[in-house]
Amino acid sequence: MAGLADPVRVLAEIDQGATLVLQGLHRYWPPVVRFCRDLELALGHPCQANAYLTPPGSQGFTPHTDAHDVFVLQAFGSKTWQVWPGPQDRDGNGAEHEILDVELEPGAALYLPTGTHHAASTQQALSGHLTIGVQQTTWRKAMQRVLEQLLDDPALDAPLPVGFPRGPESLAQLTRVHLERLETQLRAVDAGNVVADLADTFFTSRAPALRGALVDRRRLPEMTDDDRLRRRPGAVCEIRGGDPVRLLLGDRELRVPGWLEPAVREMSSRHTFALRELAVHLDATSRLVLAGRLVREGLLEVLGE
């Protein structure tokens, strides 16, 4: 098997002062998975997590910046952070503030906005902390989505006129025609549709939360009206009404008939429920079929009787 860490070599590197970096904890360590999922759903921006374990008297990285916002959460030990002032950190006379020296103890947090110059080092003990990165969806990215859709016009695939480098005036006239056309199209863009597209993309591009899904699938053939189910921790479910109803399930979109909307809303909103409690919305066969589908899609998990 290739690509595996060698524990002996890892420990030897740490003994020599290296920092151990555990990347992508938001994908596989359950407590951090749940934390990052709750955080990104609250913020509306994707979140990620790495862990850093630094031996005594060492520095993990030289001074650097990150291209996203960072929250540093100190778990154990302590670490000294140097934080350089950014362009916005100036007093009324335009003078920069001094470099900050911050000592983080267990339970403390430090916020580093995008582009903040920083470095950290340990003193007398092993230090461990999490960095929570917030990958912001910026206005630039939002506007790029709109422009990319407009620029998908096949008419723009036509080549520039032959000899265009030697005819700048005629080319400028043609360019104005295209710009005016784009301006007209841009003015016709519905801002509500732009927002809806951004939201739908966010709610269908999250990492799936499927821990225990194989066990749930094994239980489906024996599931009865007396079984209790619950919404899987970390599962996303945004409901877009209509016919069909669109369920945005974090990493996918599921469409179901419109008459199922009341049952789906109750299933997604309740912490736990017995399948028979849906009798007000569905007959026995229908609620078994719908519950089974939502279990397979990762929204629900089976608790048993």
Q: Give me the pLDDT at residue 99, please.
A: 85
Q: Where in the chain is the domain with CATH 3.90.930.40?
A: 213-304
Angle at 33 between CA 248 and CA 288, to 5 degrees: 45
Going from the first residue of the chain to its last (305 residues), give the mean pLDDT of each consecutive group of 10, the final group possibly shorter: 90 92 92 94 96 86 88 94 74 65 93 91 87 95 93 92 89 93 94 95 92 90 92 93 94 95 93 93 94 94 84
Q: Give me the pLDDT at residue 61, please.
A: 74
Helix (H) / strand (E) containing 111: strand 109-112
Q: What pTM, to 2 d.p., does this model score?
A: 0.83
In CATH, the architecture of 7-134 is: Sandwich (2.60)
Q: Where in the chain is the domain with CATH 2.60.120.650?
A: 7-134
Q: Give me the pLDDT at residue 212, please.
A: 87
CATH topology of domain 213-304: Outer Surface Protein A; domain 3 (3.90.930)
Which token pair is 102?
């911050």
Q: Give me the pLDDT at residue 230, please.
A: 92
Residues 33 and 110: their CA atoms lie apart, in Å, by 20
